[in-house]
Amino acid sequence: MFLFLIFFSGGWIVSCRGKGEKLKHDAGENESFSKIPSLMQFASGKIIRENPFKIGWDERTGRGPVLQSFEDGSRIEVCFQCGFKGYTGGLSIGGFNSPGFMYVPAKPIRGFNFLNIWCAFDDTIFEIKTEKKYNFGWSQNYGERAKGERLIYTEGRIYKISKDKIVLKSVNEGGCFKVSRFVEWNSGDRFLIFTQTIENRCHEKVEFDYWIGEDPWIGTYKSSEGDVGWVMMKDESGVKSEIIRNEYGIDGKDFVCGGLYDLGNRFRGEGEGGFSNQANFIRISPFVKHPTAVYWANSFAHEESDIDSNRPLDNKTIIAMNIGWKGISLEGGGKFLLGWALGVAGEPEKTGNPPICPEIPYEKWFPVRSQNVIFDEEKVNLKVQISKKGNIEVVVTGRYLFYNPNRQNEGVKVDFPFMIDESMPFPEEFSVDGSTGKIEKKGKSIEFYINVPQGKRKEVVVRYVQKIAGCHFGYIIKTVAGWGMPLRHALFEIEVPDSIARKKISITPGAFKKEVENKTVVYRAFFENFNPEEDIFVLWRCR
């Protein structure tokens, strides 16, 4: 039972909301951009003394810059929807006539006083039925620019400011979509971690594709000259990294990490070594659904037919990387969870080698949410048995592990739902070990409180007996989405007496493996990074 938390390159370019202009690539030309003032000159927000972070992001508008200074004297400046009047507000990287994500080294790198890492983040929700395109006021993903449907900024919050990290939240709404996004930036990291849910706020089902893209002008601001792609991906031998010089696409399930690289493309006559040798990266959280496809092209590609593998990545229009999740279906109130990290990739030891993708520890993928406790693991045994009165019942014993990563004790209110229908009434017997206070019945659920000490894990055990009048029973697991991240581990055991197992039993999801132990048939399934899309349902032939 997943408990649901209540509480708690030389071409003409027009992008980055700036006027397109043709640029030469040399140190002197790039140096002219050092005249672009620090983003923080526009900051009017909270400044932290003796702190690596400065925040000019405004909760009221959802716009503004953030900055982190590093011990080596370098700094990174990130602008969320700065300058351009058409922006809606929200935690989407972008600026007007200035980089959205800028790296300023302590000393010039190959003559570069600063490096453009991201121009703007081009993400779009494409609603399949209406063909409407929703964005944060600007996106080139489908060529809509400022003409798409607007995801209006409705709320924002600076969740945390300390010398260790900053955490920001924004909420945007449009059509049936509610997009809630967290950004976490840890001290010393040259990347940010984004956690996002897209929720269907309508009653009817909605189907859509979601694309996150970039045409970043890596290296020299306002120029895609020198830009190529790079990727780290899975193959039969493990994981490999490659430079991408022609248009290219891969299956999203094989994508590990990748981005664009200011190297120079020898396929279009550019010498490798005359550029900054810097790269950006984007890495999808290992705990969310993998993308459908990832493309590098001279446009924002959405299908394999958009790719010509013999065509070099050029700088005549744009060079774009696009990552997509296709055919997402959400019932009313349903949520789609995503997470990614983006930032500065590690510089390769030798020019022309693929950049280095930062390793991100497991704990940094914990999304920061309104809830302060993480639902970490569950182990559940569902035992079907015949009662003394000859009736079928299922005895459920669930062990649930919660983790509090914070520096103070946390209390959380939990809603524990049961699958109820005409043949599966509300359990007459239930108990909770590890809760605080009384247990209350609420509709088709029970509610209880737990307290989790700071930095500790706590186990809660729920037991209940549910009568079965028909030839099926179920157990709810889809509510894990309410916790904002998948379970690290989940183990389910279904014990069925041989007299029922002989009746052509079927179980969904289909990951269960059958074993026989002392005239009892046991079905087991173990999952890691588990984000279920369907509940457990057991059905057998009645006659």
What count of residues does the chain have?
A: 543
pTM comes to: 0.70
87/427 Cα distance (integer angstroms)? 51
Q: What domains are there in the chain, each with its CATH number?
A: 4-365 (2.70.98), 374-539 (2.60.40.3680)
238/236 Cα distance (integer angstroms)? 6
450/458 Cα distance (integer angstroms)? 9
Across the chain, which has 543 residues, the per-10-residue mean pLDDT values are 40 36 31 38 46 94 96 95 91 88 92 89 95 93 87 93 92 97 95 94 96 86 87 91 96 96 91 87 89 96 97 86 96 88 88 89 63 86 90 95 83 92 93 91 93 91 95 91 81 91 85 87 91 90 76
Whole-number Cα distances in Å, 192 to 28, 68, 393 = 30, 11, 49
Residue 380 burial (C-beta neighbours within 10 Å; 0-12, 13-18, 19+)? buried
**Which pLDDT score, from 0 to 100, does residue 317 have?**
72
Buried b (16+ CB within 10 A) or exposed e, 188-197: ebbbbbbbbb
Q: Which of 118, 115, 110 is nearest to 27 (CA)?
A: 110
- DSSP summary character for residue 30: H
Which tens digit of pLDDT belongs to each residue from 169-196? 999 999 999 999 999 999 999 999 999 9
Buried b (16+ CB within 10 A) or exposed e, 446-476: bbbbbbbeeeeebebebbbbbbbeebbbbbb
Q: Contact at 8 Å (CB) between 193 and 183?
A: yes
Q: Say what the alpha-carbon torsion angle 285, 115, 181, 50 is, to the nearest 10 degrees.
A: 100
Q: Contact at 8 Å (CB) between 311 and 268?
A: no
Q: Contact at 8 Å (CB) between 32 and 24?
A: no
Whole-number Cα distances in Å, 415 to 6, 151, 197, 436, 479 = 7, 30, 20, 14, 10
**Which pLDDT score, from 0 to 100, does residue 17 have?**
40
Sign of CA dihedral 432, 434, 438, 443: negative
Q: What strands lie across the sheet with 149-150, from one edge to the other?
A: 149-150, 133-135, 121-127, 206-214, 320-330, 293-297, 248-251
177/188 Cα distance (integer angstroms)? 34
- Paired with 106 in beta bridges are none
